[in-house]
Structure 1
Amino acid sequence: MNNIAIITARGGSKRIPRKNIKDFLGKPIIAYSIEASLKSGIFQEVMVSTDDAEIAEVAQKYGAKVPFMRSAKNSDDFATTADVLVEVLEEYQKRGQKFEYACCLYPTAPFVTAEKLQKAFNLLLEHKADSVVPVAAFSYPIWRSLKIENGKLQMNFPENLNKRSQDLPPAYHDVGQFYFFQVAKFLSTKKIFSDFSVPLHVSELEMQDIDNETDWKLAELKYQIFYG
């Protein structure tokens, strides 16, 4: 198989300055995604897409390649993950390199492991899926969630007011760690999610959305509990 790992790490981070190379329990947080990719043994290329020279230097120190820098167009707050992936894959094609499968990893995903990546790749092959997405179940049924309108509480789904939580179907969310996908399918649709995306189930202890300093501390605590 001809596979590439693409770690998306732009320099601009407003809520947590220099987030992608901030120290996480002894090393830059991006190092976890790089090391898991390299250790998995399933990638012919492990690269970092960045617009930032310092991030590029750190990435190379931990074994990733930075064969080209990200364009300014795909480095602002409005560029999507799909935009960045298209740019990377098309640039490689211009250089004569094509890949059958790709994995997009986020740089702030310390819970990604080589074993998880291997399992996701096996799922992709086994199901002949378009993509594999790590997901976790919401801890409380979203079907009984509330909203606030004009200072008053209302149910999002009032028809479920008298239903027991155990009788409602489970709901899941993307844990924001990585996506494994078929390159040809992705380039034809420019979509990571499709009608044939399959889940990789992840526990709440193995995930943490990191958007602020509190999230960061929670991630470190969870990591120490799960891997310490």
Structure 2
Amino acid sequence: MSSIAIITARGGSKRIPKKNIREFCGKPIIIYSIEAAIKSGVFDEIMVSTDSAEIADIAEQHGAKVPFLRSEKTSNDFATTADVIAEVLEAYKTRGQKYDYFACIYPTAPFVTASKLADAMGSLKEKLADALVSVVRYSFPPQRGFVIEEEWIKYQYPQYERTRSQDLEPIYHDCGQFYICSCEKFLNEHTLILPKTMPYIVDEEEVQDIDTISDWNIAEAKYTVLYQEDYRSKELDKKS
């Protein structure tokens, strides 16, 4: 069964300029996603969907393909990830290239690894699932959350006020790293969360939203701690 990795990397970024190619622990952040996809060995094609010639150039230098640039329609602030993926799959189809599965990998996901992608693809095929999404468990139970009404705090779900945290059902959220889907099922439904979507649970330590410079700094700190030895050896190689 054939598969394609699609790394979605739009050029514009208001809060963090050139976010998708900003240097992260020594190299442009998009390279982590490209390298993970290449090293996983589970993709027949690895491409970057972008509207930026600069991003396209960096992507191609590091082993990804950019056979076409995004259309104006999928480059604006209102285009969804599903819109971008659909455009890519249709463009490949017109070129006579069809795939059974695609992985959508975000370009600012340095904690995605080759082993995660390979493991996730294997799990999806083994379970005969329609799709897979990387998720992380909420660190605090949402069932114990507060709302503010007329300046006063109250439980959003008062029925859980006296329930022990360990007795509450775990709730997860998308960790913003990758999705894997059946191309056929996705094109029929135009959504990344299909009827038979399985979770790929990621540890909280390996998850970090990167929306602000502060988020970026936290992500670099986490990455340095988690992959400290590898990162330090690279820095020593540079200096020697």
TM category (shorter chain) comes to over 0.9
Q: Deviations over 1:173-208 (max 9, x none)?
A: 110000011111111111110221001111011111
Count of residues in correspondence between the two structures = 228
Question: Using the alignment, how far apart are the partners of 2:44 and 2:165 within structure 1?
Answer: 46
Matched, 1:48 2:53: no
Instruction: Measure the CA separation in 1 of the matches of 2:212 and 2:153.
Output: 27
SS in 2 for 1:93: helix
Q: Quote the residue 1:184 is aligned against.
A: 184
For the 8 Å contact 2:185–2:194, the answer to whether it is kept is no
Give CA-to-partner distance per residue, 1:34-75, whole Å, 9 cap, x none.
Answer: 000011111111000000111111111111100000001111
Distance 2:155 2:17 in 1: 37
Work out whether 1:199 is the aligned partner of 2:199.
Answer: yes
**2: CA distance, partners of 1:75 / 1:137:** 31
Distance 2:194 2:100 in 1: 17
Asked whether 1:126 is paired with 2:126, we answer yes
1:108: which partner in 2? Answer: 108
Q: Which moved more, 1:142-151 or 1:58-67?
A: 142-151
**Cα separation, 1, equivalents of 2:42 and 2:74:** 27
Deviations 1:72-130, CA, capped at 9 Å, x for gaps? 11111110000000000000000100001110000000000000000010111011001
Corresponding residue for residue 68 of structure 1: 68
Alpha-carbon distance in 2 for matches of 1:119, 1:138: 23
Gaps of 5+ in 2: 229-240
TM-score, length-normalised on structure 1?
Answer: 0.98
Q: Which residue of 1 aligns with 2:237?
A: none
- What is residue 17 of structure 2 aligned with on the other side? 17
User: What value does the CA root-mean-square deviation take over the aligned residues?
Assistant: 0.9
Tell me the distance in 1 between the aligned counterparts of 2:72 and 2:150. 41
What are the residue-to-residue correspondences of 1:104-183 with 2, within 5 Å? 104-183=104-183
Give structure 1 stretches of 5+ with no counterpart.
Answer: none
Amino acid paired to 1:159 = Q
Residue identity over aligned pairs, in percent, reads: 56
TM-score by length of structure 2 reads 0.93
Superposition map of 1:202-213 within 5 A: 202-213=202-213
1:222 shift after superposition:
1.1
How far has the Cα of 1:148 moved from its partner?
2.3
d(CA) in 2 for partners of 1:129, 1:109 = 24
In the alignment, the residues of structure 1 paired with residue 154 and residue 56 of structure 2 have an alpha-carbon distance, to the nearest angstrom, of: 48
